[in-house]
Amino acid sequence: MKIHEYQAKELFQKYGVPIPRGQVAFNVEEAKSAAAELGTLPVVIKAQIHAGGRGKGGGVKLAKTPVEVEEVAQAILGMTLVTHQTGPEGRLVRRVLVEEGLAIEKELYLGMLPDRSSARVTIMVSEAGGMDIEEVAAKTPEKIIKVQVDPLLGFEAFQARQLAYGLNLEPDLVKLFVPMVARLYKLFCEYDCSLVEINPLIITRDRNILALDAKVNFDDNALFRHKDILEYRDHDEEDPAEVEASKYNLNYIKMDGNIGNMVNGAGLAMATMDIIKLAGADPANFLDVGGGASEEMVENGFRIILSDPAVKGVFINIFGGILRCDILAQGVVEAAKKVDVRVPVVIRMEGTNVEKGRKILEASGMNLTVASDLTDAAQKVAAIAKG
C-alpha cells in the first residue's frame, strides 16, 4: 500500500526523523491558513499524489508572498498532474502539503527496501540526490553505496559509518545522519515496509539534515497488524476496480489490453497472460481468484472484469483443485444473471468436478465457448481479439 508524502512525514516525525515544518490542506483557504500558521516565507506548496516526479511536472512550487500562496494553491489544487510515473492521463490533485521553504546546500538520496536475493533489508545512499535514482543506477552505479542489514544483528554502527563516509559527510553531519538512519530502519521493520525512500535527503545551509521528500510503501500482507496505516488509505489514488476487488480478497490488477481473464493461482494467471500475448492479444487485467475461491468470489471477479469498458472478450482459465470446477461454473452463472455479458467468453477448465461444471454451464444457456485445451483456448481468444 502507498501513502502520501505528508503521511509518510507524520510517521517520520513519530520516529524522530527530521522533516520540514508543514501542514496538509484540502482547499485554498486551508492552504492560506497553513502558510499563516507556519509564519514564515517562502513556503513550498506540494501536490499530494501517489506518484513521484511532481517537481518536474509542475506540482511543487515556491510561494514568496501571501498572494502567491493563494495563487499557487489555486493552481495546484484541482490540476491534473502528469509525471513520468502517472502515465499520460495524469492524476487529479486533491490535497497539497504547505511546507516551509528551506535553503538547500546539497541534495542526497536514501532508499531502504528488502533485497530478495539476500533476504535482507538493503539501505542505499547516493550523493546524486534529487534526480531519478534509476538513472543514477544505470549511468553511474559507482555513485550508489549499499549496505545489507542482518535481521538478527540489526543495523550496526559500522554500516552507518560506511554510508556516511560514502556520502562524504563531515563529522558534524555524520552525528546527525547515523541516528537518523537507525530510526528509519526501526520504522521500516516495525511497520513492515516494502520501501522507504527519501529523495532528496537534504543538507541545509545551516547544516542540518532533513527528509525533504518522503515515500513509504507497506507490505499489504502485513496491513492487518497496522490499523493506523489503514486510515491513511486514499481510495481516490487507486483504480476503482482494484478497490472493489480488494473488498472480496481478489488479487486484481488492471492492465491496458482488451482480453479480460479470470484464473486461479498466480502462476497460472501469469501463464494465461502469456498465452493471451502469444495469441496476438493483450490482457486487460491480472486476476487470481485464489486457490480456495468461493462462488461469491468468482461471481465478483467476473463482474469486475466485465465492468471494464475496454474488455472485448473474457478468457476463464481454471484448474480445479481446491476451487472445484462446479463452484466456478456456478459463480460464473450467478454473475451472468446479474450483469449484462456483452462480450464473448471462452472457458477452459480441467480438474476436480469438471464434468459437473460443464453441465452447469451448458444448462445455463449462456453464450460460452468451451475450449478443449490451452492451444484451442488461445486460438479462440485470438479470434475474439481479431473481432
Binding site for Mg ion (CB under 5 A): 199, 213
Q: Answer whether 147's CB lies under 8 Å from 163's CB.
A: yes
Q: Which of Mg ion, ligand ADP, none lies near 295, with the C-beta cut-off 5 to 8 A by kind?
A: none
Q: Which of ligand ADP, Mg ion, none lies near 102, with the C-beta cut-off 5 to 8 A by kind?
A: ligand ADP
Q: Answer whether 321's CB lies under 8 Å from 352's CB.
A: yes
CB closer to ligand ADP, 28 vs 96? 96
Residue of 197, 232, 252, 299 with catalytic role: 197
CB of 288 to ligand ADP, least distance (A): 32
CB of 198 to Mg ion, least distance (A): 8
Does residue 197 have an active-site annotation? yes
- Taking the C-alpha atoms of residue 338 and residue 134, their distance in angstroms, rounded to an integer, is 46
CB closer to ligand ADP, 201 vs 332? 201
**Where on the chain is the footprint of ligand ADP (CB under 6 A)?**
20, 44, 46, 52-55, 60, 99, 101-102, 104, 107, 130, 199-200, 212-213
Residue of 5, 99, 107, 109 with catalytic role: 109
CB closer to Mg ion, 213 vs 295? 213
CB closer to Mg ion, 199 vs 264? 199
CB closer to ligand ADP, 54 vs 312? 54
Q: Which residue is nearest to ligand ADP (CB)?
A: 55
CB closer to Mg ion, 113 vs 382? 113
Does residue 248 have an active-site annotation? no
Q: Answer whether 292's CB lies under 8 Å from 250's CB.
A: no
What is the torsion angle, in degrees rounded to the nearest 10, for the CA atoms of residue 366, residue 372, residue 373 and residue 377? -50
CB of 6 to ligand ADP, least distance (A): 11
CB of 316 to ligand ADP, least distance (A): 40
Q: Answer whether 252's CB lies under 8 Å from 286's CB.
A: yes
Q: Which three cell numbers stand for residue 148?
A: 545489507
- Taking the C-alpha atoms of residue 166 and residue 145, their distance in angstroms, rounded to an integer, is 6
CB of 46 to ligand ADP, least distance (A): 6
Q: Which of ligand ADP, Mg ion, none lies near 351, with the C-beta cut-off 5 to 8 A by kind?
A: none
CB closer to ligand ADP, 91 vs 303? 91
Q: Answer whether 18's CB lies under 8 Å from 210's CB.
A: yes
CB of 314 to ligand ADP, least distance (A): 37
CB of 99 to Mg ion, least distance (A): 13
**Active site residues per annotation:** 109, 197
